[in-house]
């Protein structure tokens, strides 16, 4: 596995990360096919496979149903080898998604994530934007609340999973440590701002590199070739796909 610095955070992240939406939630998603949430044994095998491949980034969120709670259980006794990225601002339950970006809610959400993940520190916490990226960053105090929790030692790095080029620009200007950006051959719009983020010392996680499964694994080469990219977080519950993705990125990294 190839590793890259996550901006100025001091963390070294594997070029391939594991997205865990499908470990905890199976409705209101944009994947091309229905799927069954893996049982405990299959989920444990998936994490073993990720560890064996050298993956060290796990991406989760309160909005991913039971994902955090399941990771907390699955990582018991081996938490330290992973970098956990979770989010604040969106919650998902039987009634669907709800959003709250107020500082009070941020604090409650981080504490609830720490408890579900059975840990005393989160490596990365991102604002789970609903699309109003700049407004949230500039007016809600959400980022200030996360930065305060960073100073308290509960969180190591903070930022936003944004939805627009303008949002990424606002995040760089606001001094985010990390952004989570979309990049795939059908959605190349963020390529330039990703390079600017990297040059400014902001770590960049990529989401939807396979267009949520609507494009083939070769699309990973596209994301890996762009300047500024730290880690490509691919969502999968299939160890064979995980191995295939790791092999594609190993060849990309070797080719420079």
Ligand X SMILES: NC(=O)c1ccc[n+]([C@@H]2O[C@H](COP(=O)([O-])OP(=O)(O)OC[C@H]3O[C@@H](n4cnc5c(N)ncnc54)[C@H](OP(=O)(O)O)[C@@H]3O)[C@@H](O)[C@H]2O)c1
CA-to-CA distance for 118 and 253, rounded, in angstroms?
34
Supply the minimum distance, in Å, between the C-beta of residue 43 and ligand X.
12
Contact 118, 79 (CB under 8 A): yes
Query: Which parts of 144-163 interact with ligand X (CB under 6 A)?
Result: 161
CA-to-CA distance for 162 and 87, rounded, in angstroms?
11
Instruction: Give 208-220 as a 3 state SS string.
Output: CCCHHHCCCCCHH
Size of site (CB under 6 A) for ligand X: 25
Neighbouring-strand partners of residue 206: 181, 232
**In this complex, which beta carbon is closest to ligand X, that of residue 157 or of residue 233?**
233
Q: Taking Cα atoms as reference points, which of 239, 229, 238, 179 lies closest to residue 209?
A: 229
Query: Which parts of 169-208 interact with ligand X (CB under 6 A)?
Result: 180, 207-208
**In this complex, which beta carbon is closest to ligand X, that of residue 103 or of residue 217?**
217
Instruction: Give, to the nearest 10 degrees, the angle between helix 103-116 and helix 142-151.
Output: 50
**In this complex, which beta carbon is closest to ligand X, that of residue 22 or of residue 116?**
22
Catalytic residue among 3, 31, 64, 140: 64
Supply the minimum distance, in Å, between the C-beta of residue 95 and ligand X.
19
Tell me 187's DSSP state. B
CA-to-CA distance for 26 and 92, rounded, in angstroms?
11
Q: What share of the chain is helix, strand, coil (3-state, %, to 5)?
A: 40, 25, 35
Is 64 catalytic? The answer is: yes
Supply the minimum distance, in Å, between the C-beta of residue 233 and ligand X.
5
Give the H/E segment covering residue 24: helix 21-24
Residue nearest ligand X (C-beta atom): 19
**In this complex, which beta carbon is closest to ligand X, that of residue 27 or of residue 151?**
27
The contact pattern for ligand X, residues 37-76, with x = CB under 6 A and - = no contact, is ----------------------x-----------------
Query: Which parts of 226-245 interact with ligand X (CB under 6 A)?
Result: 233-238, 241, 244-245
Query: Which parts of 88-147 interact with ligand X (CB under 6 A)?
Result: 128
By the criterion CB under 6 A, which residues form the site for ligand X?
A: 19, 21-22, 31, 59, 128, 161, 180, 207-213, 217, 233-238, 241, 244-245
Catalytic residues: 64
């Amino acid at each position: 596995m190839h590793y890259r610095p996550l901006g100025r955070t001091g963390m070294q992240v594997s070029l391939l990360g594991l997205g865990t939406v499908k470990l905890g939630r199976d409705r209101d998603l944009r994947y091309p096919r229905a799927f069954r949430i893996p049982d405990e044994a299959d989920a444990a095998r998936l994490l073993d496979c990720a560890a064996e491949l050298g993956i060290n980034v796990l991406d989760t969120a309160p909005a991913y149903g039971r994902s955090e709670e399941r990771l907390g259980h699955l990582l018991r006794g081996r938490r330290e080898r992973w970098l956990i990225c979770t989010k604040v601002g969106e919650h998902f339950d039987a009634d669907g998604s709800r959003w709250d970006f107020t500082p009070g809610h941020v604090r409650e959400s981080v504490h609830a994530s720490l408890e579900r993940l059975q840990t005393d520190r989160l490596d990365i916490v991102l604002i789970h934007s609903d699309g109003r990226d700049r407004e949230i960053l500039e007016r809600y105090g959400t980022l200030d609340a996360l930065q305060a929790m960073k100073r308290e030692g509960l969180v190591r790095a903070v930022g936003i999973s944004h939805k627009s080029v303008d949002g990424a620009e606002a995040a760089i200007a606001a001094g985010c440590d990390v952004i989570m950006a979309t990049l795939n051959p059908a959605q190349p719009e963020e390529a330039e701002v990703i390079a600017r983020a990297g040059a400014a010392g902001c770590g960049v996680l990529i989401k939807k590199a396979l267009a949520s499964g609507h494009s083939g694994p070769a699309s990973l080469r596209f994301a890996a070739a762009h300047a500024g990219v730290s880690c490509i977080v691919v969502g999968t519950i299939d160890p064979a796909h995980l191995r295939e993705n790791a092999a594609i990125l190993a060849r990309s990294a070797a080719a420079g």
